[in-house]
């Protein structure tokens, strides 16, 4: 999974699809998020549950443990290792959902520049990416070491032609279970290993290369193109 995604609808639109009866503490705001071209290290809306309360906070995309200062904060964690490796052990218990509208991948099609593709659900529903992270629980203020990573798995089907990795996407029912602090870690691991949405749930199409510049924002970045510029 490459490091670019869209998160442009409002947090209430995402939560409505989750159908969670929980009370919500929302610090992400009530307006549309309008991030059509979100990149690593930016603050993105993240959902997590504390006791019976759902939280929506803006958290940095990317995290590393305090001792790993010799590398940039990863933005993704491989599902095959995330539950047991020492790197992510401190945050494996802290499950979250990154709600997005789509993500982008770049494909080498033999031209001078790679061609960006937008990937979204075929039914146009929100995409609930399984994530883990460090975020302001227990009423503490946000800290400089807060951040999250999106869990990724091997691509399947035709999606392999776009990229060899993809986010682990959970349907609303599984997303609610993933967020629930009462869900045992062993069950959570099995969910992300075996119950992510299949490639058939998604579609993809070419978009303008302007999405390659993170300074570009706006709905024109998510529109399909038929004849990309060389």
DSSP 221: G
Provide the token pair at 182. Answer: 């009462």
For 118-176, write each residue's pLDDT tens digit: 999 999 999 999 999 999 887 778 888 899 999 999 887 667 778 778 999 999 999 99
Query: What is the band of 1 on the pLDDT scale with cuts at 50, 70, 90?
Result: low
Query: Which of 34, 50, 80, 105 is the catalytic position?
Result: 105
* b/e per residue 149-176 (b: at least 16 CB within 10 A): bbbbbebeeebeebbebbbbbbeeebbb
* b/e per residue 88-118 (b: at least 16 CB within 10 A): beebbebbbbbbbbbbbbbeeeeeeeebbbb
- Which domains does the chain possess? 5-222 (3.90.1680.10)
CA–CA distance from 82 to each of 76, 132, 141 (Å)?
10, 9, 26
pLDDT top residue among 1 and 146? 146
Please check the confidence at residue 106 and state whether its pLDDT lies above 60: yes
Please check the confidence at residue 230 and state whether its pLDDT lies above 60: no
Enter the pTM of the model: 0.93
Task: Based on the residue annotation, tell me whether 197 is a catalytic residue of this protein.
Answer: no
Please check the confidence at residue 43 and state whether its pLDDT lies above 80: yes
Angle between helix 11-18 and helix 172-179 axes, rounded to 10 deg: 100
Task: Based on the residue annotation, tell me whether 200 is a catalytic residue of this protein.
Answer: no
Neighbours of 186 (CB within 10 A): 9
Averaged pLDDT, 48-52: 94
Looking at residue 227, its pLDDT comes to 55
Query: Which of 2, 34, 144, 200 is the catalytic position?
Result: 2
Neighbours of 72 (CB within 10 A): 10
Lowest mean pLDDT among 26-30, 66-70, 115-119: 66-70
Query: Chain-wide mean pLDDT for the chain?
Result: 92
Please check the confidence at residue 104 and state whether its pLDDT lies above 90: yes
């Amino acid at each position: 999974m490459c490091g670019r995604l869209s998160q442009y609808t409002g947090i209430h639109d995402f939560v409505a699809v989750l159908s969670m009866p929980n009370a919500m503490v929302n610090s992400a705001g009530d307006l549309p998020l309008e991030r059509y071209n979100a990149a690593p290290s930016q603050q993105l809306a993240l959902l997590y549950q504390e006791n019976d309360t759902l939280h929506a906070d803006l958290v940095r995309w990317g995290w590393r443990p305090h001792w790993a200062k010799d590398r940039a904060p990863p933005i993704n964690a491989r599902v095959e290792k995330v539950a047991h490796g020492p790197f992510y052990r401190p945050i494996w218990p802290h499950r979250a959902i990154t709600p997005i509208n789509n993500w982008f991948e770049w494909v080498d099609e033999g031209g001078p520049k790679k061609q960006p593709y937008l990937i979204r659900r075929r039914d146009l529903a929100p995409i609930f990416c399984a994530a883990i992270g460090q975020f302001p629980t227990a009423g503490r203020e946000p800290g400089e070491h807060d951040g999250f990573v999106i869990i990724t798995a091997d691509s399947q089907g035709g999606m392999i032609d776009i990229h060899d990795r993809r986010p682990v996407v959970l349907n609303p029912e599984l997303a609610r279970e993933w967020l629930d602090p009462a869900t045992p870690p062993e069950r959570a691991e099995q969910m992300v290993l075996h119950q992510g949405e299949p490639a058939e749930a998604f579609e993809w199409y070419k978009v303008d290369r302007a999405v390659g510049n993170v300074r570009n924002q706006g709905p024109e970045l998510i529109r399909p193109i038929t004849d990309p510029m060389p």
